[in-house]
């Protein structure tokens, strides 16, 4: 039977590559998105992937939409928590609104979605959960106390979940991308982006498909003994 994969933030950037790569690998994919209807519709048509719009930072919306998925497909076998935003400012200039928004979208959403699927996975005796963190959750970054806090927290969340559910056939792993060639990174001022690339030993940005390939491996049977692990995909920018 075809396994069902849910990818949050799955219609743009890294999420879009993950969604399309999983579909090409034979999974049935549902790609969640939050706001950009036109982009999501185009992605759906181009890739023949079902998209669902809801705010993953909203617990009740998440429970309701995941119930719809279960009603249609009966199971969610693979969960990729990829949704995330940035609202940068140094802490002495950061508003409580910026802090709370990033915490809500990047971290609370992972609880909302994962807690909505974990019991069914445990009942089924199978699950693959991948949380997308960031190199800046490992090393920190100026102006990103909010973002780095959420991405660092995902590492502890992942390890704890792995301990809790390994005996039920569920693996939980985390990927920490470096600077990836997406719209978000492309929006960085050219001189600043060049200075970032200069610090990367590989001397280039990563490609979204390089993250997607790691996801596809970790959800496969070949990776069934990998659990609670952190994978850095950053061109050597941070080695830990």
User: Locate tokens 């660092």: which residue?
Assistant: 152
Distance separating the N- and C-terminal Cα atoms of the chain: 39
59 catalytically annotated: no
Tokens for 95, please give them: 């508003």
d(CA 44, CA 50): 6
Q: From the CB of residue 40, how many other CB atoms can be counted at a distance below 10 Å?
A: 22
The residue from 147, 179, 217, 225 that is catalytic is: 147
Give which of 152, 115, 118 is closest to 135, Cα–Cα: 152
Residue located via tokens 């998925």: 69
Supply φ then ψ for residue 50, to 5 degrees.
-70, 135
Q: Which residue has the tokens 């609880």?
A: 111
b/e code 194-203 from CB counts within 10 Å (16+ = b) = eeeeeebeee
- Residue from 141, 94, 110 nearest 9 by CA: 110
| Angle separating helix axes 37-47 and 13-24, nearest 10 degrees | 20
Positions annotated as catalytic residues are 147
């Amino acid at each position: 039977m075809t396994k069902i994969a849910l990818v949050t933030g799955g219609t743009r950037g890294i999420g879009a590559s993950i969604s399309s790569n999983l579909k090409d690998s034979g999974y049935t994919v549902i790609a969640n998105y939050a706001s950009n209807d036109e982009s999501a519709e185009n992605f759906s048509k181009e890739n023949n992937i079902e998209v669902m719009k809801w705010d993953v930072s909203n617990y009740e919306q998440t429970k309701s939409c995941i119930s719809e998925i279960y009603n249609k497909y009966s199971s969610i076998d693979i969960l990729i928590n990829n949704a995330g935003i940035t609202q940068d400012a140094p802490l002495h200039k950061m508003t409580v609104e910026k802090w709370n928004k990033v915490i809500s979208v990047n971290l609370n959403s992972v609880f909302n979605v994962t807690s909505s699927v974990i019991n069914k996975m445990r009942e089924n005796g199978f699950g693959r959960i991948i949380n997308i963190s960031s190199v800046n959750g490992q090393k920190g970054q100026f102006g990103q106390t909010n973002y780095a806090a959420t991405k660092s927290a995902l590492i502890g969340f992942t390890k704890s979940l792995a301990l809790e559910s390994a005996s039920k056939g569920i693996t939980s792993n985390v990927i920490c991308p470096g600077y990836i060639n997406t719209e978000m990174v492309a929006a960085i001022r050219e001189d600043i982006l060049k200075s970032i690339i200069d610090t990367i030993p590989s001397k280039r940005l990563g490609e979204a498909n390089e993250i997607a390939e790691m996801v596809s491996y970790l959800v496969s049977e070949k990776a069934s003994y990998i659990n609670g692990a952190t994978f850095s995909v950053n061109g050597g920018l941070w080695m830990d």
